[in-house]
Structure 1
């Protein structure tokens, strides 16, 4: 029975499947797609909502639509199920709004667990404090995010702040991942300490037992690592040797604005086989929608680099820029995706850096509804293929690269692995 559990993951950007493999990712939430995803024999179904890039009113509209379509399908499902809202391990996103929507429309659920630990990426929780490489996460650049800034790494205080005071820090329980969940009251929030993948495997086992043995369906707001324990899927590195060779150059698309992305981009562009093409964000923002920026020069540059057998790297301009809305961010990502895909086929592979960049490329640029997750190329970096094959780009492997993941050399290492596979070296 345990192995028959279906876990429906509302994922707030397309990178949250970064610790598992062999499952479906949905970008379109028609009833037929949802039904097909639930019917898949695998334990995990990812619903890529990209809600982190949306405004609260848009989140309400999207989640209401999804949940109303899901509810009758779950009532007919002949296997036990759980729901997880997979969010950012550096605490950016629409918590507790997403929890409130899911619980009101798909509930009842018993207790609510906040589990942002992602040990593979250096995110741990100790004594209710969330840490990034051992330091309080609110002191990192992520705590100063333009849209989701916060001033405390104490998860109880963070929940109180995020809820506008509705959730009181003093009433939020602190648990270790190995603790029993039996004493949690209906509707109670708990934050969970975890420092290792084994901690999260232990918690996953407890959550399964609570459902299958005690009939308690808890709701989890978590980072990616908990999903391994829930689904009993080990994190493995995918070998590119399993894929047939492909023709054409690779392509790298970088839209993330966090300082780590700047460092990674700088090291990648120092590689002799890479050539950068800058997408001029400020000029693009200055142009009204009725008079879009002429990007003919950038198209020519991308084509010339690819024709020379080098890797084009299309990146949004770096440095300080005016604040942009969520809608502008999505429009910018679409403009970059369309420019990137103006390259003639074939492409051997594509790397997309940044959550909104990846999502927009997959759903709007490539027009995909479903993806198959092959596994991780490097820890936290998911390798995807269109399902079914794309009519133009076929089964081109696509790496979704979170903006906040890795160290300065991680993007270069990812590119090097794909180049070695492409060249057969």
Structure 2
């Protein structure tokens, strides 16, 4: 069973599943991100690259699939026991079972007093917490089906996969696009006035029961890989969060696409300090239920990473929330780990 996101690590090479192919991540568009890009698919080389050679490759350990599948948890536990204090250790995994064997060894090591810091995808978190497989959430668990207000999708992600999903969604004619022009925001007379104007446009459409997609213009603006460019990206995410906060209307549903965008909209736009993860809307798309202290208590907040889903994924989600698509019923046959 393949977890949402389709990422595997075999022989220290990190792969992205694309159709029937395993593509080394350095060969994907995500590696060309102007801020977070990289040239290495080998995770040992990636750590060295990201540390700017301050971490030596020889100091990085690895637990292979052979260690996990042939040696079992006892062998992995012994490997963990022998790790010196503080090194990086790559864990190869291509199936939930691999993570289960590794997690059992980790639990035994922790019982002996070992402590670890993990950087991982959501699949490991589910296994580590012992979450059972669960069907995808149905539309009635994702939105207020009786609300006259329209739903809102916010897309700050500009990776090619997100752009293809937007194009497919717009071709269906079931949503109203609201473009956040980065050029106007950056070069206009008043960024605040521009944000207010766009907020009013989105609010009026939601009040009229229309589903709205607020998305950033697709061209990249800024200096790639610089602090100035990173600050610009953050200011755009803050502006999107401000629009959500100033709407003054609870959307019928809310999905946010992009890691930085969703991480800003939650606290800055919705005042989220605590939420409950209820499950997934689509594979790799976790759903939060916002707490009573947020702007809209009980609202389901769908976090749609930029690198998740095929070209029709966003359109399928919108159709399922509108009750016009069979995709949700088909997906519910496949049990997937909670994020």
Would the TM-score normalized by the shorter structure come out above 0.5?
A: yes
TM class by shorter chain equals 0.7 to 0.9
1:192 to 91, 96, 109: 91
**2:234 aligned with 1:337:** no
**2:5 aligned with 1:121:** yes
Query: Residue deviations 1:101-144, cap 9 Å, x none?
Result: xxxxxxxxxxxxxxxxx843221111111111211111111111
Give 1:417 shift: 2.2
Indicate the residue corresponding to 2:174 in structure 1: 273
Higher strand share: 1
Indicate the residue corresponding to 1:210 in structure 2: 109
> Are residues 205 and 340 of structure 1, via their aligned partners in 2, closer, same or farther at CA, if it must alter by over 3 Å?
same
Structure 2 CA distance, aligned partners of 1:386 and 1:252? 17
1:400 to 297, 303, 306: 303
> Are residues 401 and 242 of structure 1, via their aligned partners in 2, closer, same or farther at CA, if it must alter by over 3 Å?
closer
Partner of 1:318, secondary structure, is coil
Indicate the residue corresponding to 1:10 in structure 2: none
1:405-420 correspondence runs (5 A): 405-420=308-323
> Are residues 328 and 352 of structure 1, via their aligned partners in 2, closer, same or farther at CA, if it must alter by over 3 Å?
same
Indicate the residue corresponding to 2:122 in structure 1: 224
Query: Residue deviations 1:194-242, cap 9 Å, x none?
Result: 1112211221121112112x33223322121111221111242233445
Partner of 2:40, secondary structure, is coil
> Are residues 277 and 163 of structure 1, via their aligned partners in 2, closer, same or farther at CA, if it must alter by over 3 Å?
same
1:346 to 250, 267, 274: 250
Give 1:274 shift: 0.5
* Runs of 5+ unmatched residues, structure 2: 330-339
1:258 to 153, 159, 172: 159
> Are residues 186 and 314 of structure 1, via their aligned partners in 2, closer, same or farther at CA, if it must alter by over 3 Å?
same
Query: Residue deviations 1:27-50, cap 9 Å, x none?
Result: xxxxxxxxxxxxxxxxxxxxxxxx
* Runs of 5+ unmatched residues, structure 1: 1-117
Query: Residue deviations 1:132-172, cap 9 Å, x none?
Result: 12111111111112112221111111112222323222332
2:31 to 124, 133, 143: 143
1:25-424 correspondence runs (5 A): 119-133=3-17, 134-176=22-64, 178=68, 179=71, 180-183=76-79, 184-187=82-85, 188-212=87-111, 214-236=112-134, 237-242=136-141, 245-247=145-147, 248-287=149-188, 292-295=192-195, 297-323=197-223, 325-388=229-292, 390-391=294-295, 393-420=296-323
What TM-score, normalized by structure 1, do the two folds share?
A: 0.65
Structure 1 CA distance, aligned partners of 2:78 and 2:194? 61
* Residues 251 and 311, structure 1, Cα contact 8 Å, conserved in 2: yes
Query: Residue deviations 1:317-352, cap 9 Å, x none?
Result: 112433353332222112122224443423211111
Give 1:315 shift: 0.6
Query: Residue deviations 1:168-206, cap 9 Å, x none?
Result: 223322212525131332233321211112211221121
Give 1:313 shift: 0.9
